[in-house]
Amino acid sequence: MIKLSSSGFTLFEIIVAMFVISIAVIPMMQSFGPTMMTAGAVEKTAVLTNQARATMERLLALDFDTLKLKLAEVQPLSGNAVFGDSDETFTFEAGTYSPAITISDASGDASKTLLDLTVSLAGMNFSTRKADY
């Protein structure tokens, strides 16, 4: 008669191994929630920054005299005298956003040869300057 080998894992050993693995896995699983929220915030910031940057590029493409006519005006971008009828309002993550532009004098004298251009979007402000030379 051949004797069968009794090698292998007992039920107790399997339960202990699963317990040890669960001690390592549970904290990793709990870290996924905050990580996903952080990733969502980073994505939103990137989208809003890219939209504001595109708006700023459109401002910089305009000639100096057109911008100078709109000094000291804070206005929404959509349907204003600077950009005409273009609609820059967009929806992202169930929120609707519309950039606002501000054009102010940065020259400090009556010449008004340096303009400060600001794009505001969802609490973020992006500024640059444009000179007449």
CA-to-CA distance for 78 and 63, rounded, in angstroms?
A: 19
Structural domain boundaries in the chain: 11-131
CB 97 within 8 A of CB 86: no
CA-to-CA distance for 97 and 116, rounded, in angstroms?
A: 23
Q: What is the pTM of this model?
A: 0.65
Mean pLDDT by 10 residues, the chain (133 residues): 75 94 89 84 91 89 82 58 66 87 83 86 90 81
Segment 3-21, tens digit of pLDDT? 767 778 889 999 999 999 9
CB 100 within 8 A of CB 88: no
pLDDT at 107 (0 to 100): 83
pLDDT at 72 (0 to 100): 65
